[in-house]
Structures are given as structure tokens and as C-alpha cells.
Chains A and B, each alone.
Chain A
Amino acid sequence: MSTIRLKAKQKDGVTTVKCLISHPMESGLRKNKKTGKKIPAHFIEEVTAEHGGKTVMTAYWSGGISKNPYLAFKFKGGAKGDEIKISWKDNKGESDSASAKIG
């Protein structure tokens, strides 16, 4: 199961990409209520979107982005049936990617 849910729709030449990523997005500032210890930071640092071999968008994030992050962006030049690929990397070196066809 991919951690990324992705949808891309093209209308009037503009492609809107919406995605949801399953990730704890721990800022490193939160404390465990029972033990009082800080929960170590674990968050996505970088999300990239590729279309036709080109990077359409790169997002750099901090732990200040909400848990199970949502991301939407728009670009011109996508056609129906084209593939769009989203990948993320977090501060622990974990990563994932997913692709979807523009509908």
C-alpha cells in the first residue's frame, strides 16, 4: 500500500493535483503525556512532483505541517492520460512515491 493518495484532473489546460500522504509529521516538540519525554521528530522534508520528466513543483516542509499532510497544486501543460509522479522523503531517510494518470 502506498502512503500516497493522488488525483490529477485537467480542465481548460490547467491540471490540478491533489494528494494525501499518510505520515505522522511529528515536529519533535510534542511530549508523550505519560512519560513526559519528547517524541522524536519525524516529518516529511521534501515532496516533488514530476510530469514528463520535468519537476513541476518541489515543496520543502517542516514538522509544522499537519499529520497526514494534504497538498494541492496546479500546473499548465498537462494532457489527459499523462502521468504525474509524486515522491516524498522524510528526516529519517524514509521515502515513497506514487503515480497517477491525469483524468
Chain B
Amino acid sequence: MKRRTFLKGGIAASAATVAASAGLLTPTAVLAAWPKSAFESKDLKAAMSAIAGGDSPAMDSSIKFSKTPDIAENGAVVPVTVSTDMAGVESISIFASNNPSPLLASFNLGEGALPYASTRIKMAKTGDVIAVVKANGKLLMNKKQVKVTIGGCGG
């Protein structure tokens, strides 16, 4: 009986290995939805167009940055929380104006999700943290300057 369980376990394990290696060989197929061009763009406006479909959103002060510091001692960990009281928000994208690749994150909100996203970002140097909100097909943005004492992207 023990031998049988052992054999079964072995077969299951090898099947899992095959599946895992197949997955590793085709990561692009698995992650087709990840917006590669937007994330790899080195230009802020180009990144905005690629992720949100427009490069000049209107400023809107109802987009709030809470828990986001004025001065970040460590650019490797800058807390950012974006929220708004707008209705019909579809997505929230977060950019750092002076990073090598400005787009950092894009949150797509599903049914029932509130317009709120909180995370921690890396900032190469002092610059603006920009939030672009897509609501009812319109693009709106707000920004907040964060001074960085030690950069978080360099080597």
C-alpha cells in the first residue's frame, strides 16, 4: 500500500513539474494582459497614452493622496494612497515623473470596488507622484511632489 501511494505521489509530482516548465517557457502567453508597452515607456506622456488612452488629463483636486509623504527619506519605499469620491471610476494609474519608466502601477477596478488604491513605490529622485483616474470614460489627474533624499532605483 505504501509503495502504491509513493508511486502515485511520484506521478503527480512529475506531472506538476512538466506543467511548471511548460508555464515557464511561455510566460508571455500567460501574461498577455500585462500592458508591456505602457510599462516600458520612458516618457511620461507616452506611458499615460498607452495605459489610459490620453496624455493630457484634466487636473482634479478630488483625487487625494493620503499617507503620501512630502519628503521620503528612502526612495525605495514611498507609501502612496490614492482615493477619490468620484463615481464610475474604472481605473487608477500611478506614475513617478522622474523615474526611468514613469508608469508604476495600474489598478483596474471591478464591480463594487471603491476608488481607492494603496501601495508602496520606488522613486529614483525627487519628482511628482501622479495619479490618473479614468472615470466614465474621462481622464482626470492630480499630482503631489515628493522630495527624495536617497534614490530607490539606482545601483
> Which residues on A are within 8 Å of B, measured CB to CB?
14, 27, 29-33, 38, 45-46, 51, 54-67, 69-78, 89, 91-93
16 chain-A/chain-B pairs, Cβ below 8 angstroms? A54-B111, A55-B110, A58-B33, A58-B108, A60-B108, A63-B122, A64-B99, A66-B76, A66-B152, A70-B79, A71-B117, A72-B117, A76-B113, A77-B112, A93-B30, A93-B31
B120 at the interface (CB under 8 A from A): yes
List B residues 20-77 near A (Cβ within 8 Å): 23-24, 26-27, 30-31, 33-35, 39, 76-77
> Which residues on B are within 8 Å of A, measured CB to CB?
23-24, 26-27, 30-31, 33-35, 39, 76-79, 81, 96, 99-101, 103-114, 116-122, 152-155
* Pairwise interchain contact B104-A61, C-beta atoms closer than 8 A: yes
* Pairwise interchain contact B105-A91, C-beta atoms closer than 8 A: no
Smallest beta-carbon distance B36→chain A, Å: 9
Enumerate chain A residues within 8 angstroms of B31, measured Cβ to Cβ: 45-46, 89, 91, 93
Enumerate chain B residues within 8 angstroms of A61, measured Cβ to Cβ: 104-105
Q: With contacts A55-B110, A57-B108, A75-B114 known, is A27 near B120, CB below 8 A?
A: no
CB < 8 Å: which of A29, A45, A54, A74 contacts B110? A54
* Pairwise interchain contact A29-B30, C-beta atoms closer than 8 A: no
CB < 8 Å: which of B30, B101, B106, B120 contacts A60? B106
Smallest beta-carbon distance A57→chain B, Å: 5
Enumerate chain B residues within 8 angstroms of A76, measured Cβ to Cβ: 112-114
Enumerate chain A residues within 8 angstroms of B103, measured Cβ to Cβ: 62, 64
* Pairwise interchain contact A66-B120, C-beta atoms closer than 8 A: yes
Which of chain A's residues has its CB closest to B105's CB? A61
* Pairwise interchain contact A65-B27, C-beta atoms closer than 8 A: no
* Pairwise interchain contact A66-B118, C-beta atoms closer than 8 A: no
Which 10 A/B pairs are nearest by Cβ-Cβ distance?
A31-B155, A72-B118, A64-B104, A93-B27, A66-B120, A74-B114, A77-B112, A45-B34, A62-B39, A58-B108
Q: With contacts A60-B34, A65-B120, A71-B119 known, is A27 near B153, CB below 8 A?
A: yes
* Pairwise interchain contact A73-B121, C-beta atoms closer than 8 A: no
Enumerate chain B residues within 8 angstroms of A57, measured Cβ to Cβ: 107-110, 113
